[in-house]
Amino acid sequence: MIPKLQCRNVWKIYGENAASLLGGETAPDSDALNKAGVVAAVRAANIEIREGEIFVIMGLSGSGKSTLVRCLSRLVEPTAGEILFEGRDLLKASRQEMIDIRRHKMGMVFQHFALLPHLTVLENIAFPLDIQGMGRKEREERARQVISLVSLEGREDRYPHELSGGQQQRVGIARSLAVEPEIWFLDEPFSALDPLIRREMQDEFMRLQAMLKKTIVFITHDFDEAIRLADRIAIMKDGQIIQVATPETLVLEPADSYVQEFTRHIPREKVLTVRSIMHTGVAEGEPVAANARIASVSERIVSGGRDLPVADETGTIIGAISPGAVIDVLIGRKVA
């Protein structure tokens, strides 16, 4: 299966004669870039994003994650590389073709909601459909459907200043969904929210994804948020992608000391699944899901005081899990 979106050896260099630095047989190193007086925001990035997955890009401030996502949609023009969307190189698309792709196939949500203050909730959500040229009746009908999706019924006629921060973010999410995008870019959409509202928005996001099965590229610097949402995570540092893996693999098999340090303080029970610590023995009782996080089932397993069977996604029993293995995770004892 062709990935939904591929990024091949993508660079974004800011400075004079940036492209000329990439013309040689070998890529420029940090010394060469510094000597040339340029800044490499993205360096030789390679990723593949699968249909229907939540792909999280994370890193510290200045790591290049936001620049990379803007390169993927060509809101920022890459210096070199290929960006393949459904097998087509977006860097070869004309300006008008890119406008059409963004209008019809890409949804975007950013940290700042950018709602239009003079438009109501309904009008804000319908706005991108108006830009597409959709008739008023049809676009308002679509907007009302999305309003229902994000649980904003009854607020259609309110203006942005009459909404809470969480409600404003729901409007931003609904507006991006109104165009029924094939791929959805979200750049730290919840980071400006209070912790409680942020958690609620994460719950809402997961509820929407369970229904819509979108292909999502999600940026965050919060590892707790990443492990809660992600199917896979890309860790960035100084414009480079250091490792792409599941949250579990990042913790158990970090690619280098940077990834290891990045994940050091994450509670293992939030990341590790039952599958990762089960054994091949036989047990009786109600099965535990193999893909369940340890944190979500630890109380049941430990309080039961006995091994329980483990079932995969098809319901097939594939092993068993012991209270002792769960306790090892909870107290931080090394997991084999």
Q: Is the pLDDT of residue 256 over 60?
A: yes
**pLDDT tens digits for range 75-84:** 999 999 999 9
User: In CATH, what number is assigned to the domain containing residue 304?
Assistant: 3.10.580.10
User: Does residue 275 sit in the same domain as residue 261?
Assistant: no
- Give the model's pLDDT for residue 201: 84
Residue 34 — very low, low, confident or very high, per pLDDT cuts 50/70/90? confident
Q: Which domain holds residue 303?
A: 269-330
Residue 251, both tokens: 């913790």
User: Does residue 102 sit in the same domain as residue 144?
Assistant: yes
What is the Cα–Cα distance from 255 to 172, expressed in whole angstroms? 36
What is the Cα–Cα distance from 120 to 9, expressed in whole angstroms? 43
Residue 35 — very low, low, confident or very high, per pLDDT cuts 50/70/90? confident
Instruction: Tell me whether residue 316 is in a domain.
Output: yes
The residue-averaged pLDDT of 35-50 equals 93
Residue 110 — very low, low, confident or very high, per pLDDT cuts 50/70/90? confident
User: Does residue 220 sit in the same domain as residue 314?
Assistant: no
Q: Is the pLDDT of residue 334 over 70?
A: no
**pLDDT tens digits for range 314-328:** 999 999 999 999 999
Q: DSSP for 262-283?
A: HHTTS-HHHH-BHHHH-BS---
Residue 154, both tokens: 């009854």
Average pLDDT, the chain: 90
Q: Which of residues 268, 289, 305 is at a domain's end?
A: 268
Q: Is the pLDDT of residue 90 over 90?
A: yes
Give the SS3 label for residue 220: strand
User: In CATH, what number is assigned to the domain containing residue 146?
Assistant: 3.40.50.300
Q: Is the pLDDT of residue 165 over 80?
A: yes
The residue-averaged pLDDT of 236-258 equals 93
User: Does residue 58 sit in the same domain as residue 192?
Assistant: yes
User: Does residue 63 sit in the same domain as residue 197?
Assistant: yes
User: Does residue 205 sit in the same domain as residue 313?
Assistant: no
Higher pLDDT, 330 or 2: 330
Q: Is the pLDDT of residue 274 over 60?
A: yes
Q: Is the pLDDT of residue 336 over 60?
A: no
Q: Which of residues 244, 268, 292 is at a domain's end?
A: 268
Q: How many residues does the chain have?
A: 336
- Give the model's pLDDT for residue 61: 87
- Report which of 119, 202, 131 is spatially closest to residue 158, judged by C-alpha positions: 119
Residue 187, both tokens: 């750049």
Domain count, the chain: 2
Residue 79 DSSP label: S
Rounded to two decimals, the pTM is 0.86
CA distance readout (Å), 251 to 89, 197, 232 = 34, 27, 12
Residue 57 — very low, low, confident or very high, per pLDDT cuts 50/70/90? very high
The residue-averaged pLDDT of 144-155 equals 89
Residue 40, both tokens: 């490499």
Q: Which of residues 268, 284, 312 is at a domain's end?
A: 268
